[in-house]
């Protein structure tokens, strides 16, 4: 690393201290800007070039203040993600514990935060946020799909809302005497379950909007199912 970045690091430490004291979002924003300045000075002539994960890890190892900032930023991002997970699980009426970022996801998030500072002007929050959303999306989608696979019909009726009757009529197994349930479709078809995982992963990575979950569930079922016929 090159450059004497004592001034930039002092500004970063001050911003972090203010955030820890107040929890103010503008203090965290200021710390992000200061981290970008400190990283730029440390990188010298390479300050305008995008850093990869290997360089980001070296920056974290060489700049304790950056490590501190990354830890704080990741904690805030994890708290927001976990709050969203809790709301989603509650809205769907699921009884299991909602997911949280695991150790690997937190480690990956710290690297992404460092990358977002290098260079800050070309990356920053706009670059970082969608990548943080994608970080845990596949694992969370698998957990959510598995919860739905084990759910009974009342849970599917709740999750699909106004779409439930239409989805059941078109895709649930039927005989001349009775129509099955949506729960049977997902529980009994691995292809539908995999389609559900993929669709939910994209939905989570894009920034999940609770009001569109029923649309995503219906689309996943429609991907692998043809309208039911009488058996």
Q: State the average pLDDT over residues 156-184.
A: 88
pLDDT single digits (tens) 18-45: 999 999 999 999 999 999 999 999 999 9
Preceding omega of 157 cis (within 30 degrees of 0): no
Q: State the average pLDDT over residues 91-101.
A: 93
pTM: 0.88
pLDDT single digits (tens) 125-144: 999 999 999 999 999 999 99
- The secondary structure of 21-72 as a DSSP string is HH--HHHHHHHHHHHHHHHHHHHGGGTTSPP-HHHHHHHHHH-HHHHHHHHH
Q: State the average pLDDT over residues 170-191.
A: 84
């Amino acid at each position: 690393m090159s450059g004497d970045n004592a001034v930039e690091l002092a500004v970063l430490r001050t911003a972090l201290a203010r955030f820890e004291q107040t929890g103010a979002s503008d203090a965290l924003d200021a710390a992000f800007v200061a981290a970008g300045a400190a990283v730029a000075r440390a990188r010298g002539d390479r300050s305008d070039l995008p850093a990869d994960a290997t360089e980001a890890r070296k920056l974290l190892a060489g700049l304790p203040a950056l490590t501190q900032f990354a830890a704080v930023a990741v904690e805030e991002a994890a708290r927001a993600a976990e709050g969203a997970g809790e709301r989603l699980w509650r809205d769907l009426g699921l009884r299991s514990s909602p997911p949280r970022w695991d150790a690997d996801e937190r480690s990956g998030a710290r690297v992404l935060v460092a990358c977002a500072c290098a260079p800050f002007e070309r990356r920053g929050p706009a670059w970082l946020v969608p990548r943080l959303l994608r970080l845990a999306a596949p694992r969370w989608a698998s957990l959510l799909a598995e919860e739905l696979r084990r759910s009974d019909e009342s849970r599917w009726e709740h999750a699909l809302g106004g779409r439930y009757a239409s989805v059941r009529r078109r895709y649930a197994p039927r005989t001349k005497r009775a129509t099955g349930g949506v729960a049977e479709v997902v529980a009994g078809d691995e292809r539908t379950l995999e389609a559900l995982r993929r669709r939910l992963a994209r939905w989570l990575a894009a920034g999940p909007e609770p009001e569109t979950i029923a649309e995503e569930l219906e689309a996943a079922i429609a991907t692998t199912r043809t309208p039911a016929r009488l058996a």
